[in-house]
Amino acid sequence: MTVEASTPSGERMKLSMGPHHPATHGVLRLVVESDGEVVDTAIPEHGYLHRSIEKIGECVEWPMFVPYTDRVDYVCAMNANLAYCLAVERLLATDPATTVTVPRRAECIRVLVAELNRISSHLIAVGAMAMDVGAYTPFLHGIAQRETVNDIFERLCGQRLTYNYVTIGGVAFDLHATAEQEITAFLVELEREMIRFSKLVTTNAIFRERCAGLAPVSAEEAVAFGLVGPNLRASGVDWDLRRDEPYGIYGELGVRVAIGDAFAGRRGKRGDCYDRYVVRLIEIQESIRLCREVLKLLPPAAAANDPIGGHQAEVSKLLRKPPKGEVHVRTEAPRGEMGYFIVSDGSKVPYRVRVRTGSFSAAGIFHRVMRGAFLADIVAIIGSFDVVVPEIDR
């Protein structure tokens, strides 16, 4: 902490939060200038976790880049896998000779694991936000439920964090023998747990008073700053790619979109920290419903390349010489729009790979919403936007 200059109202301090501050979400540095306890500017500095993932995408063959997408957002790696694979499949579909038909069962499994990963990601988000404002126990409840999702994924693909599971043309493995029963039991348990979680946090007077009215973002500001996902919907913008630009089998599921509505009552403002928290909580409930719907639609297992009951289409020969061209595909990840722009020159290695993520745009509004807030509220604001630093540093 250093004193930079004096102002009529007192000393202006320049504070460095991060990149290893225990209260921040990842390797993120905020350079904060304050007049006493009131924030004047808060500028995020990025790059501490940069790994050149996009450049790596231009140096490896098409299917070999899938494991790297896990690292773009390791909190929802299934969704990151899916976004890239959909983009490559869209590229192959530009030429009838290389079009890939993903088996129906694989399409269902993709949505199933994406929604389970959304649940586990949002559990981290709401639990960590509660911990950021002083409630440690709810975070442990969220972690406990997330561990059950990790157990299911570990039996499915052998990994608990970076899965490399969704593949170009399907998924790497079919569901294990007890997967459907395990998922069904987990969804029942999670519903009970979310009732207890809401009693601990959502209706807690201290939590509501702390977050209601803090760092509100209007719908116009959210659009102007490029916010996506729960951060956009919390500001009242009714937009969800799963419903409005459906991919996979989402068009059959009738996705219900949660939007912010000043949930905290009299003191709350639409698009505040409390809205962002509650929207994620409602999305967990919607993901539970979607998982149940997918299990109803899931065809019986068959041979791996069966067009209905299989889990993987044959694509290896097609990827040796894909069509030339460029495509952009966007999906609804837990932190909002995750899009891939890829360019092919017809070789087995991408010419260009570009990733669009939600955390990058969320960090871009920090300077706006933190100005005028108290220093003690900075971490609560960061938590409400649910940024994951690898999405920013690519």
Write the pLDDT tens digit of every residue in 75-134: 999 999 999 999 999 999 999 999 999 999 999 999 999 999 999 999 999 999 999 888
In this structure, which amino acid lies at residue 22? P
What is the C-alpha to C-alpha distance for residues 122 and 115, in angstroms, rounded to an integer? 10
pLDDT at 197 over 50: yes
Contact yes or no for 27/18 (Cβ under 8 A): yes
What is the C-alpha to C-alpha distance for residues 79 and 355, in angstroms, rounded to an integer? 13
Instruction: Give the confidence band of 4 by pLDDT, cuts at 50, 70, 90.
Output: very low
pLDDT at 21 (0 to 100): 61
- Tell me the residue range of the domain where 274 lies: 53-392
pLDDT at 2 (0 to 100): 36
pLDDT at 19 (0 to 100): 74
In this structure, which amino acid lies at residue 112? L
261 found inside a domain: yes
pLDDT at 166 over 50: yes
Residue 230 preceded by cis peptide, ω within 30: no
Nearest residue to 115 (alpha-carbon basis) of 313, 273, 249, 19: 249
pLDDT at 319 over 60: yes
pLDDT at 24 (0 to 100): 64
Nearest residue to 276 (alpha-carbon basis) of 392, 387, 144: 387
Q: H/E/C letters for each residue in 291-339? A: HHHHHHHCCCCCCCCCCCCCCECCCCCHHHCCCCEEEEEEEEECCEEEE
Tell me what the mean pLDDT of segment 223-237 comes to: 95
Q: CA dihedral defined by 115, 120, 122, 127, rounded to 10 degrees?
A: 160
Nearest residue to 246 (alpha-carbon basis) of 208, 290, 205, 215: 290
% pLDDT > 70, the chain = 94
| CATH code (residue 370) | 1.10.645.10
Give the range among 13-22, 217-226, 289-298, 367-376 with minimum mean pLDDT: 13-22
Residue spans of beta strands (DSSP E) within 159-274: 166-167, 170-171
Higher pLDDT, 274 or 6: 274
Higher pLDDT, 40 or 264: 40
pLDDT at 260 (0 to 100): 86
Q: Tokens 């969800």, residue? A: 240
pLDDT at 51 (0 to 100): 87
86 found inside a domain: yes
pLDDT at 6 over 50: no
What is the C-alpha to C-alpha distance for residues 128 and 115, in angstroms, rounded to an integer? 20
Tokens of residue 282, six digits? 């409602």
289 found inside a domain: yes
97 found inside a domain: yes
Tell me what the mean pLDDT of segment 306-312 comes to: 92
pLDDT at 36 (0 to 100): 87
Tokens of residue 169, six digits? 């043309």
At residue 374, what are phi and psi to the nearest 5 degrees? -85, 155
Q: Three-class SS of residue 374?
A: strand
Angle between helices 273-297 and 104-132 (to 10 degrees): 160
C-beta atoms surrounding 266 within 10 Å: 7
Contact yes or no for 385/228 (Cβ under 8 A): no
Report the domain count for the chain. Answer: 1
Instruction: Give the confidence band of 265 by pLDDT, cuts at 50, 70, 90.
Output: low
Tell me what the mean pLDDT of segment 273-286 comes to: 95
pLDDT at 1 (0 to 100): 37
pLDDT at 263 (0 to 100): 63
Q: Is the dihedral of CA 275, 280, 283, 284 positive or negative?
A: negative
357 found inside a domain: yes
Instruction: Give the confidence band of 28 by pLDDT, cuts at 50, 70, 90.
Output: confident
pLDDT at 129 (0 to 100): 92
187 found inside a domain: yes
pLDDT at 9 over 60: no
309 found inside a domain: yes
Cα–Cα separations (whole angstroms), residue 29 to 5, 45, 48, 51: 21, 5, 8, 17
Show the CA angle centred on residue 266, arms to residues 260 and 270, nearest 5°. 20
233 found inside a domain: yes
